[in-house]
Structure 1
Amino acid sequence: MDPRSSPTARSAMRCVRLLLGCTSAAELLGTVLAEGPGWITGEGSALYLLDSAGMLRLSASHGLPDWAHERYSVVDPAGDLPAATALRLRRPHLLSPERTSAEYPNGNAGMGTGMGTGMVAVVALPMIVDERPLGVLALALAHRGTVPRRDLDVLETLADACAHRLGYLLEHARADSRAHEEQENAAGAFAGRGGASNGVRPGPGSADGDPAAATAHPLLSLAVRAAGHGAFERDLVTGETHWDAQALRLVGRSAPEGGGPSAAPALDLVVHPEDLPDVQAALAEVLATGGPYRIRYRVPRRGGGVIRIEETGEVMLDVHRRPVRIAGLIADLDHGRAAGERPPGGRSAADGEAGEAGGASAAGARSALLLALTRALSRAVTVRDVTTAVTDIARPAFGAASIVLDLVDEGRLLPVSHTVYGGARRTELTRLADLSEGVMQRALARSAPLFSEPARRGRGRGSARPGGPPAAASGDEDGSGGPLTPAAWAVLPLIASGRQVGSCLITFATERAFGREDRTLYSAFAGILAQSLERARLYDTHHQRATELQRAMLPRTLPRLPGIASAARYLPSTEGMQIGGDWYDLLRLPDGLVGLVIGDVQGHNAEATAVMGQLRSGLRAYATDGHDPAATLTRTSRLLTELDTELFATCLYLTLDPADGALRAARAGHPAPVRVTADARAVELELPGGPPLGVAPDLPYPLAVEHLPPGETLLAYTDGLVEDREEDYDESVQRMLGGLELWARNAGPVRVEPGPALERLADLLTLNVTERRSRPDDVALLLLHRLSAVH
């Protein structure tokens, strides 16, 4: 196969293209984490730039705690931290998982800072352009052993792309503004608000604390000003939106005196009312998928008439594919003329334009918005998925400040919307849910939506206030004070199939009036949301029951058997019903023998789980009757053919005599076990195998005889541990073997504390699996260590 066609190569090439278009250090780091190979884990990654004093200054990071930012914001290149070593030697500096755990024991920190993430490999990559060092890119890797040369080449390529882009940006920054002559100041500017995507955090001393410094940077303003465009940025996590002076002028708003960015007016105050549903529908579509978009709409002029605006931007996703940031430009299609005026010798910008106001009715646009929201909610499987869709797509599409979602649980409302947030935002939503509990219960009891319209109270058409809005609950009766007091809100009862599902509070930061069409739109959204939640709750209930069934069929704990230490792990699939047929067992056999069983039934559904339970019971019975592994598998295969199922299963069964290390094993289409030797080698046992259970019931299985010396370890696993859609299976196995050898070379405590050492190894083996975006297969593993004579 051509290596250029591999998923890793494609990912790396796309990442390089995107890196060459980044405008900040934080955006560079975020692009590497979001678009680079999946084995770059992200947590604890950092980007350092050299300042004018020759020190490495933290300019962007991901997953670093506050104390790490304070302690390691500046690194001396003459020191012994990984970032300093890489820059000094001008080559990648690698640390193994054990070194990061032993030398940098702080749990969630960063590679470049000299603090480990524990049980992950780390690499510090120097960024050098034309022999001139610019900084260091530090990344956490999912590798558990030696990093292959091909992967190291990919990392160096990404670091080179970052270096060339930073070199270009720094040179143009200095040429364009005397205020950015020193590299330290330029580095700070480039660590600005571009890092909001992918959860990347600008480093201390960056321009993030001063939006004007970040947004008014010459690189941003040069081309934008020349074209007469305005620039904007919206943080979808915090809801903060900033427009530059030109963007504000384009929509007829006053620009701040200093010329920097300003908080943007609400969407409904800018866009023409007839075009607003179209804009909301387009936003809902692109928020669900991410990527670039282009929308056109009218903006009313204060003196009358309208101007036509084209908004071009991009929705940026984090590593979990959730939208976190929008950035882009807005342009005046009429070039300052009133809409309908024709440019000299040409046509009006509106002539022949499809999709602009007047091309589709407002009713059709609202239908498009509902359709976009319906599509987003239809992809949600669990209640958490529904809540995430509401938070990530419906909230920004509606232009809402917050959405509080409560579910009916045993007759009371239980808030769930805060679960998809972190930090202060979660606390804020929890507080808002508490304040609004009364009005949400009242709306649900009346089965009718409630709308607050402060802007219309003075005309005698006040808010629907029975039960009190959130403002009243906080003691703020005028609805205009305090960070948790919305200026307008809507409470929607969620009812599906005649059953009360929950209640939804949508709050707005600016006053608005809810017309008849708006009320119809929100009521229709409530119906769609209620049905999605009802379906998701049913799925969650079925999944919980199936998971409990599967857990009940697996051993709750491993038996304590003389002469051995053991550890096991089981991880369900994250796709489908998230259950399957993987199982393991550790058996106490006659004559002091120990039996190890691990198997995998085809499929990921309740039937696979049920078949697994029957096979586990049958095999245990045959084994405890004294049959050897080969005879046991033969009988179990016949049992599977007699069951009313078309499923088959793979299985490995071996017995160990702890007294002399005699090992007897048989294999039915299952991966071979791995032996970790005393001299730190990891090798697969060469066991002749037979077909999977249930395929050829009359065919006997060969019996293999091996020996396990004291102090050595066996690993038995199902293929979900190593299978990766983006990597060849054999390469994944070799990667795992390398990780085992790395562990063995540093696993001194296994001789003193074999139990805890095996538990750490089990965590190490499954860490790579848990870091994947999806887990299409179950994972089971069983570790068995033969104790030395002293035990």
Structure 2
Amino acid sequence: MDLTSPWLPPSEDENRTPRSSPTARSAMRCVRLLLGCTSATELLGTVLAEGPGWITGEGSALYLLDSAGMLRLTASHGLPDWAHERYSAVDPASDLPAAMALRLRRPYLVSPERTGADYPNRNTGMGTGMVAIITLPMIVDEQPIGVLGLALAHRGTVPRRDLDVLETLADACGHRLAHLLDHAHAEGRAPASGVRPGPAATGGDADRATGPAQPMLSLAVRSSGHGAFERDLVTGETYWDDQVYRVTGRPPPAEGAPATAPDLDRIVHPEDLPDVQAALAEALATGGPYRITYRVVRRGGGVVRIEETGEVMLDVHRRPVRIAGLLADRDRTRAAEPPGPEPPEGGAAAAAARSALLLALTRALSRAVTVRDVTTAVTDVARPAFGAASIVLDLVDEGRLLPVSHTVYGGPRRTELNRLADLSEGVMQHALARSAPLFSEPGRTGRAPENSGGPLTPAAWAVLPLIASGRQVGSCLITFATERVFGREDRTLYSAFAGVLAQSLERARLYDTHHHRATELQRAMLPRTLPRLPGIASAARYLPSTEGMQIGGDWYDLMRLPDGRIGLVIGDVQGHNAEATAVMGQLRSALRAYATDGHDPAATLARTSRLLSGLDTGLFATCLYLTLDPADGTLQAARAGHPAPVRITADARAVELDLPGGPPLGVDPGAPYPPSAGHLAPGETLLVYTDGLVEDREEDYDESVQRMLGGLELWARQAGPVLIGPTPALERLADLLTLNVTERRSRPDDVALLLLHRVAPAR
């Protein structure tokens, strides 16, 4: 939920967004990515992740028309449970925003005031009336597909240039959904991944318009000897069309049966399998297109050389979720191509392929920084490359094995891995105690995971002890859905993989430990609690950076001064490392000492600047120090290159205080800091913050500040002069201010803010 800024009607020139502007770049990139999405959920996620920053994400939804003509909620983000229950199905004849947009066939905007008045629910915490909501019809060839609903950081009216961007994104979503629906119907199966058929894709002009193109495409693909396939990397299932069954020499499934394909190890020639696994590992680690040539053993004898051309598709979190592509009979198609060198065959080629697979897995693990990154690499790259059904990863913690692999999964997959981890605990401990891998093979009486049974019983499995530098790191269970024989080369490969995985986990755990200690150091230097002060309500927040060591030099402080006044400090030391945190601790202690000695804000900053210059750190810091007399509201302040404080007035205005400032602390030890005076009336609120709260790489800094000021005014209007006073209301405002930051994909800077409210006297 972004905080909004007042909108001024753009001039004629402003209506044309410059080609080099962040909004234009973001919109064009977003449209390009939308045209490659494969589901309604992925479409909505791409709009939120890649679209302009003023699309907030919270409360956004995508509706599709079903065969009965109802709008069905197909994908959503940030909708509370009550909204799912109440608005999961929308009658197009109703007065709800989605229905209005569909009937009017144009964007339908609901202002922040209306979202609070017409769609209230106090149980949701912050309510729903903090942002504007726009619903955009998705119409393709005059046929409605559905409605895209987005929450916006605009105060009522949306500028024409922003509306053009929104309509373009909705058009891209509509055309992509229409394509997915047509493709699903042409294959005679129900659309997957949340794409549901509606009137736009069933019957009428839409079928007549798209019908001839689909048979032509199918005929062209079949004539060229190609067949289509799709691999779901989450479930591990692969789907083939009829042509792929013909190319690989296998009978197609019975009418109505799912077109699931056999596992790779069942169709690929054993000598080529490591090469295929290595190529897949490379493609899974980076995403994008790839091409592999391998031999397939036909049922009943015979070998055919296959060329697989596909693309690994990533979700909004850059994790591989699907592979789609074509399979071609190389023996049929290469006659038309110039002759080229044939790939080597035999044992030497298989050994080289296994080395390539291990190298690809090593590269994927080398990019992992945290334990979670290592686990993600194992589940996203190693699992599908090995053709495994599941991988359970346990780490040694104080002599016990604790599962960690489930942390990267959600929903049923997490439950399944939890159960598998429980069932396999005994055999994983056994393998670790012996420091030797265990393999289960068909036709042998190997030990299965203890208490195993039912659908979780693997047909084959390998348990790998993870040992690095002579220390036990953990244990890894790799399960397979089909029986297999682990030859000597396979066992060597898995043992080598276990060594690489153990080294990666040891390095990642060391990083996590250092990061945890640095974070604890950072938090130890900040106030654990804010003091209770008469006539004052306060709230504070600190968010670490998500880059580097995820620590920094931002700090805040609230203190009671000897003369009855209140001191308020906010500061930001340059850098995001342990040195910045240490300097921050020194500055906080020094500034508190100077302040409690009775120095005014200007003298306090001057002394602190000289101290920082003498520390010989090479770092500087911005800082703001204010004092408040709670009896009469008198403010005294000085500013050292820091963002100006914001005052929220009782009549719901948010304005920056005009404070002249000096250079950052430590830049010029002799520079003065001009003192300023002001007043905070009863019922008014003061906000001080570091620049990480508003900085956005895709937006001008001043625009970000104005957006925040607009959001503060909106909050004040909704809360009212009475409700904003108590501490719980300030806590909700602090959550609202930081919500925009926490929703960003990355946070390059840490964030600190402090809210101070002067309580109005009881009447």
- Asked if Structure 1 and Structure 2 have the same fold, meaning a TM-score greater than 0.5 normalized by the shorter chain, the answer is yes
CA distance in 2, matches of 1:538, 1:721: 30
SS in 2 for 1:285: helix
Residue in 2 that maps onto 1:314: 311
1:57 and 2:72 equivalent?
yes
Shift of 1:767: 0.6
Please say if residues 690 and 751 of structure 2, whose CA atoms lie closer than 8 Å, have aligned partners that are also in contact: yes
Q: Deviations over 1:450-489 (max 9, x none)?
A: 11111xx2xxxx25x3xx322x422x4xxxxx21100000
Please say if residues 622 and 642 of structure 2, whose CA atoms lie closer than 8 Å, have aligned partners that are also in contact: yes
CA distance in 2, matches of 1:106, 1:291: 45
Shift of 1:644: 3.8
CA distance in 1, matches of 2:676, 2:112: 35
Shift of 1:225: 4.7
More displaced, 15-24 or 417-426? 15-24
Please say if residues 17 and 161 of structure 2, whose CA atoms lie closer than 8 Å, have aligned partners that are also in contact: no
CA distance in 2, matches of 1:424, 1:100: 34
Shift of 1:378: 1.2
Equivalent of 1:105 in 121, 126, 129: 121
Q: How does 1:563-642 map to 2 (within 5 A)?
A: 563-642=535-614
- Corresponding letter in the other structure for 1:690: G
Q: Deviations over 1:667-691 (max 9, x none)?
A: 0011111122223222211111101
Distance 1:68 1:315, change over 3 A: farther
- Corresponding letter in the other structure for 1:126: P
SS in 1 for 2:651: coil
1:502 and 2:518 equivalent?
no
Equivalent of 2:250 in 248, 253, 256: 253
Distance 1:636 1:159, change over 3 A: same
CA distance in 1, matches of 2:506, 2:35: 45
Please say if residues 47 and 135 of structure 1, whose CA atoms lie closer than 8 Å, have aligned partners that are also in contact: yes
Residue in 2 that maps onto 1:428: 416
Q: How does 1:334-413 map to 2 (within 5 A)?
A: 334-335=331-332, 343=335, 346=336, 351-352=339-340, 361-413=349-401
1:748 and 2:736 equivalent?
no
- Corresponding letter in the other structure for 1:87: L
CA distance in 2, matches of 1:377, 1:527: 12
Please say if residues 126 and 133 of structure 1, whose CA atoms lie closer than 8 Å, have aligned partners that are also in contact: yes
CA distance in 2, matches of 1:449, 1:601: 50
Distance 1:167 1:276, change over 3 A: closer
SS in 2 for 1:334: helix
SS in 1 for 2:456: coil
Residue in 1 that maps onto 2:233: 236
Shift of 1:251: 1.7
CA distance in 1, matches of 2:509, 2:271: 37
- Corresponding letter in the other structure for 1:469: A
More displaced, 640-649 or 519-528? 640-649
The TM-score, its normalising length taken from structure 1, stands at: 0.86
Residue in 2 that maps onto 1:15: 30
Higher RCO (CA 8 Å, separation ≥ 6 residues): 2
CA distance in 1, matches of 2:37, 2:387: 28
CA distance in 2, matches of 1:589, 1:66: 47
Residue in 2 that maps onto 1:339: none
What's the C-alpha RMSD, in Å, of the aligned pairs?
A: 3.2
1:155 and 2:171 equivalent?
no
- Corresponding letter in the other structure for 1:670: H
Residue in 2 that maps onto 1:3: 18
Distance 1:717 1:292, change over 3 A: same
1:79 and 2:94 equivalent?
yes
More displaced, 80-89 or 560-569? 80-89
Please say if residues 73 and 204 of structure 1, whose CA atoms lie closer than 8 Å, have aligned partners that are also in contact: no
Shift of 1:294: 2.3
Aligned-residue sequence identity (percent) comes to 82
Q: Deviations over 1:90-123 (max 9, x none)?
A: 44334566765672538899xxxxx987866543
1:126 and 2:142 equivalent?
no
Residue in 1 that maps onto 2:217: 223
Q: Deviations over 1:312-341 (max 9, x none)?
A: 2222222221112222222222239xxxxx
Shift of 1:130: 6.4
Please say if residues 107 and 118 of structure 1, whose CA atoms lie closer than 8 Å, have aligned partners that are also in contact: no
Shift of 1:147: 5.5
- Corresponding letter in the other structure for 2:468: A
Distance 1:218 1:436, change over 3 A: farther
- Corresponding letter in the other structure for 1:227: V
Q: Deviations over 1:619-678 (max 9, x none)?
A: 011111111110100011111122241111110001111222211110001111112222
1:290 and 2:287 equivalent?
yes
- Corresponding letter in the other structure for 1:295: I
Q: Deviations over 1:484-507 (max 9, x none)?
A: 100000010100011100000000
Please say if residues 224 and 230 of structure 1, whose CA atoms lie closer than 8 Å, have aligned partners that are also in contact: no
Shift of 1:233: 2.1
Q: Deviations over 1:707-726 (max 9, x none)?
A: 22221211111111111222
CA distance in 2, matches of 1:557, 1:702: 31
More displaced, 710-719 or 79-88? 79-88
CA distance in 1, matches of 2:613, 2:702: 31
SS in 1 for 2:323: strand
Please say if residues 100 and 116 of structure 1, whose CA atoms lie closer than 8 Å, have aligned partners that are also in contact: no
CA distance in 2, matches of 1:682, 1:424: 47
Shift of 1:292: 2.4
User: Paired residues, what number?
Assistant: 734
Please say if residues 711 and 751 of structure 1, whose CA atoms lie closer than 8 Å, have aligned partners that are also in contact: no
Residue in 2 that maps onto 1:333: 330
Equivalent of 1:534 in 503, 506, 516: 506
Please say if residues 129 and 163 of structure 1, whose CA atoms lie closer than 8 Å, have aligned partners that are also in contact: yes
Distance 1:97 1:292, change over 3 A: farther
Shift of 1:44: 5.0
Distance 1:281 1:104, change over 3 A: farther
1:692 and 2:664 equivalent?
yes
The TM-score, its normalising length taken from structure 2, stands at: 0.89
Shift of 1:72: 3.6
SS in 2 for 1:748: helix
Residue in 2 that maps onto 1:645: 617
Shift of 1:45: 3.6
CA distance in 2, matches of 1:649, 1:123: 42
Shift of 1:261: 4.1
Shift of 1:589: 1.3
Shift of 1:310: 2.0
Residue in 2 that maps onto 1:443: 431
CA distance in 1, matches of 2:229, 2:416: 26
SS in 1 for 2:563: helix
- Corresponding letter in the other structure for 1:156: E
Shift of 1:561: 0.9
Residue in 1 that maps onto 2:3: none
CA distance in 2, matches of 1:202, 1:534: 43
Residue in 1 that maps onto 2:10: none
Shift of 1:15: 2.8
Distance 1:94 1:786, change over 3 A: farther
1:473 and 2:444 equivalent?
no
- Corresponding letter in the other structure for 2:668: A
Please say if residues 49 and 57 of structure 1, whose CA atoms lie closer than 8 Å, have aligned partners that are also in contact: yes
More displaced, 49-58 or 497-506? 49-58
- Corresponding letter in the other structure for 1:773: R
Please say if residues 582 and 780 of structure 1, whose CA atoms lie closer than 8 Å, have aligned partners that are also in contact: yes
Distance 1:380 1:172, change over 3 A: closer
- Corresponding letter in the other structure for 1:420: V
- Corresponding letter in the other structure for 2:217: A
More displaced, 366-375 or 384-393? 366-375
Unaligned runs of at least 5 residues, structure 1: 110-114, 180-187, 196-200, 207-216, 337-341, 477-481
SS in 2 for 1:505: strand
- Corresponding letter in the other structure for 2:138: M
Unaligned runs of at least 5 residues, structure 2: 1-15, 200-210
Shift of 1:530: 0.3
Q: Deviations over 1:158-213 (max 9, x none)?
A: 11223345567778999x79x9xxxxxxxx95xx22x3xxxxx446999xxxxxxx
Residue in 2 that maps onto 1:479: none
Please say if residues 245 and 259 of structure 1, whose CA atoms lie closer than 8 Å, have aligned partners that are also in contact: no
More displaced, 426-435 or 43-52? 43-52
Distance 1:633 1:27, change over 3 A: closer
More displaced, 578-587 or 707-716? 707-716
